[in-house]
Structure 1
Amino acid sequence: MLNPALMQWLEHNAQALDAGDGDPQQVLTQLAQAGVLRVGISPALGGSGGHVSDAVETLAAVASHSLAAAFVFWGQRAFIEYLLHSPNAALREKLLPALLRGELAGATGLSNAMKYLSGIEALQVRAAHTADGWTLNGRLHWVTNLRQSGFVVAAAIEHEEGGSPFVLAIADDAAGVQRSADLQLMGLQSSNTAAIDFAQVAVGREWLLHEDARKFLPAVRPAFLGLQCGMAIGLARRALAEVEGHLQDGRSILLEPLQEQREQLAQTVDALKQGLHDGRFLTQPGALFQIRIALAESAANAVQLELQSSGGKAYLTEHGSGFARRWRESAFVPIVTPSLVQLRAELQRQKREATA
């Protein structure tokens, strides 16, 4: 599925990207050159065709080599999805070509907004009306793909005067936008992940993605979470492939759990694709939350099985560096927003409301 040159680059650079020794500027460039950013987008808009479920599979293939690269892929592709769903055709025409070529980085910035949608936290950016747009103040604490050479970030904004929150795209060169130094993460260090402060940032109406966040966010949530699931899918598949490679060393006792995990993973992936195709997640977000939880658990179980199959070699630096990286990657999957704790809390809330 992936360009062989991209697979080779990812395998060669996976450790460096995780540790922060790789050039974060190159990740998006490599993804764009391989054409993966165009999957699931209409050819009329510069894409290579297909469905968003095809983009999930492509992202999973990247994640099987490097979760750091897949994290960047997710940020870029999610922002592109916002443009595809936005009624602002002029903004889409302005930004999409550079995003697909990897010349401009797109940052989702809507993790806070997705938590807001579920009543978990308040919006962190507020706006005051001006004659031709808004003035923004606030902070986004954790955003990926904030490439130093240029980015545009999506954010859900609260009106200071009241009314429905709305969604804006904000360019990094707007006066008052301040990117922090990269966050010091346990892994995925070359993902351009940082915080953004907004201090009296003037944004015109031409940057409006949608005037009503409460309508826009549920519409993009299936793609936002579906693409995010690709990270867990790719990690689980790679770990299980490593398990199969170790079974030749006399650990055939693990053949049965390997097969069970593969079958369970395949069933969950099929359910995800079916839901993305038939649109059920638009009206049944809980079903998507359950799939996201199940896939995160699949990734964790697969890495645990990889440890058992490799035995003590996993603790030897020479042999276990790839496993150690996947172990760190598996620790990230449950906490990427919305975290599994937040999803479970939302499912409990929905259950209480259904029985009230």
Structure 2
Amino acid sequence: MQASEISCKTSPSEMLTDGMLMQSLKQAIAHKLAPQVSQIDLQGVYPEEFLRHIGGLGAYAQCVAQEYGGTGSGVLPALKAIEMVSATCLSTGFMAWCHNACAWYLQNSDNPFLKEQILPQVAKGELLSGTGLSNPMKHFAGIEKIKIIATPCEGGYILNGTLPWVSNIGDQHLFGISAQIEGTDDYLMAIAQGGMQGLELKQDVHFIALEGTNTFRCLFRNAFISHDWILASPCDRYVEYIKPGFILMQVGMGLGLAQNCIELMRRIDKSKAHVNQFLDDRPEELESELETLRLKSYRLAEAIGRGRQLVSKEILREVVEARATASELSLRSSQSLMLHAGAIAYVHGSVYERRLRESYFVAMVTPALKHLRKVLASM
């Protein structure tokens, strides 16, 4: 898929912002997502219709400037949208983050083709998108080596290498990647297309949760990518632009999951408070910590704003701390929920068991809790 094959289908329209978006999302989640959650979790059903529907509402347009089909509202309403979806289904909340992350990459790029022709379609959910930056984020933190090599050639680069798992992708999806430029110490970031020649998508493992996220192993074998699809090369400064928003929007997953765990505990307490009162991590305590994290995250989202700027070291540290706290609070909330529910929680397919499995994903998806603590130790 090259530049000539893409046309901008999005016409100027009024995308919903913040309050109106949240109300519309709430209705969409109740009617279109909630009835599917068990199928998504246990059967690996990919909720494509819902993902496209909330794109039309504006769930992916908040970080995107108005001239590129967005609302220009910034990171905060995007984080809130991810939080709201995650409260019902973390798989789908994670995919909402994946898509928003890709929109964030495009918004922060200087590439006019990507911003003018591709970003408007991503902002509206016409082109569904993911992110393949787990490996590069770990590479730049000194955890593992970059796995894709880009060899310069006429008109672009030849890509070779493998990305273990990339989510919310398919033959018609886009996703962000990073590669080392062969023979140099420089790196580039680009947008790959799921159906591009030389790329094979393999789905050869099963996960304990998030099966419905269209997660594939990506094998690049002499795959050509033109300069039209390069986000930044070299990408050192560009990575500093996208990092705070990339990390902070993930906090929405933890906020939503922990909120639902607390709500479920309160529901259980209507009949079991007489015995649950002796447990640690009671709903009142967790809710207080959750609200503190929520307010901190919202403040940081306002500080990051609309991107295209470097944040201070102090803000970045707070972002990393918030992301780590989201992991820890997700784990504590889901484990406490299991104990509050008792034996019924041990039944396979229960909402309590699902939330427990999902909470480990919040703590393990890049940047994982151990990754975050490593970064904090060096800041």
Partner of residue 354, structure 1:
none
Per the TM alignment, residue 8 of structure 1 is displaced from its structure 2 partner at its CA by 2.4
Among 279, 282, 290, the residue aligned to 1:257: 282
Per the TM alignment, residue 194 of structure 1 is displaced from its structure 2 partner at its CA by 0.8
CA distance in structure 1 between the aligned counterparts of 2:372 and 2:294, rounded to whole angstroms: 18
CA distance in structure 2 between the aligned counterparts of 1:189 and 1:21, rounded to whole angstroms: 4
Q: Determine if the alignment matches structure 1 residue 123 to structure 2 residue 146.
A: yes
Q: 1:189 to 1:141 in 2, by over 3 A?
A: same
Gaps of 5+ in 1: 351-356
List aligned pairs for 1:115-154, cutoff 5 A: 115-148=138-171, 150-154=172-176
Partner of residue 54, structure 1:
77
CA distance in structure 2 between the aligned counterparts of 1:184 and 1:316, rounded to whole angstroms: 20
**Contact between 1:20 and 1:188, CA under 8 Å: does it hold in 2?**
no
Gaps of 5+ in 2: 1-21, 305-309
**Contact between 1:39 and 1:55, CA under 8 Å: does it hold in 2?**
yes
Partner of residue 230, structure 1:
252
- Which stretch has the larger CA shift, 69-78 or 15-24? 15-24
Q: What is the DSSP-based 3-state SS (H/G/I as helix, E as strand, rest coil) of the residue aligned with 1:38?
A: coil
Partner of residue 203, structure 1:
225
Among 60, 64, 67, the residue aligned to 1:37: 60
Partner of residue 374, structure 2:
345
CA distance in structure 2 between the aligned counterparts of 1:316 and 1:188, rounded to whole angstroms: 18
List aligned pairs for 1:19-168, cutoff 5 A: 19-148=42-171, 150-168=172-190
Q: What is the DSSP-based 3-state SS (H/G/I as helix, E as strand, rest coil) of the residue aligned with 1:98?
A: helix
Per the TM alignment, residue 329 of structure 1 is displaced from its structure 2 partner at its CA by 0.4
CA distance in structure 2 between the aligned counterparts of 1:173 and 1:301, rounded to whole angstroms: 40
Among 303, 308, 321, the residue aligned to 2:350: 321
Q: Determine if the alignment matches structure 1 residue 334 to structure 2 residue 363.
A: yes
CA distance in structure 2 between the aligned counterparts of 1:234 and 1:7, rounded to whole angstroms: 15
- Which stretch has the larger CA shift, 12-21 or 72-81? 12-21
Please report the TM-score for the alignment, with normalisation by the length of structure 2: 0.86
Per the TM alignment, residue 133 of structure 1 is displaced from its structure 2 partner at its CA by 1.2
Please report the TM-score for the alignment, with normalisation by the length of structure 1: 0.91
Partner of residue 197, structure 2:
175
Partner of residue 302, structure 1:
333
CA distance in structure 1 between the aligned counterparts of 2:51 and 2:95, rounded to whole angstroms: 7
Partner AA of 1:302 in structure 2 = S
Q: 1:206 to 1:345 in 2, by over 3 A?
A: same
Partner of residue 268, structure 1:
293
**Contact between 2:114 and 2:229, CA under 8 Å: does it hold in 1?**
yes
Give the 4+ runs in structure 1 shifted more than 4 A. Answer: 279-282
> Over residues 37-95 of structure 1, what are the superposed CA-to-partner deviations in whole Å (9 max), with x where a residue is unaligned?
22343333322442211111110000001011111111111000000000112211111
> Over residues 276-318 of structure 1, what are the superposed CA-to-partner deviations in whole Å (9 max), with x where a residue is unaligned?
322485524333222111111111111122223222232346x
Partner AA of 1:108 in structure 2 = T
Partner AA of 1:315 in structure 2 = Y
Per the TM alignment, residue 108 of structure 1 is displaced from its structure 2 partner at its CA by 1.1
CA distance in structure 1 between the aligned counterparts of 2:44 and 2:227, rounded to whole angstroms: 40
Partner AA of 1:203 in structure 2 = I
Among 293, 299, 302, the residue aligned to 2:324: 293
Partner AA of 2:217 in structure 1 = A
**Contact between 2:341 and 2:352, CA under 8 Å: does it hold in 1?**
no
Q: 1:237 to 1:173 in 2, by over 3 A?
A: same
Partner AA of 2:80 in structure 1 = E
CA distance in structure 2 between the aligned counterparts of 1:245 and 1:48, rounded to whole angstroms: 37
CA distance in structure 1 between the aligned counterparts of 2:29 and 2:373, rounded to whole angstroms: 36
> Over residues 102-148 of structure 1, what are the superposed CA-to-partner deviations in whole Å (9 max), with x where a residue is unaligned?
23221211111111221111211111111211111111111101134
Q: 1:342 to 1:89 in 2, by over 3 A?
A: same
Aligned length, in residue pairs: 347
RMSD: 2.1
CA distance in structure 2 between the aligned counterparts of 1:321 and 1:277, rounded to whole angstroms: 37
> Over residues 197-216 of structure 1, what are the superposed CA-to-partner deviations in whole Å (9 max), with x where a residue is unaligned?
11111111111101122211
Partner AA of 1:164 in structure 2 = D
Partner of residue 213, structure 1:
235
Partner AA of 1:265 in structure 2 = L
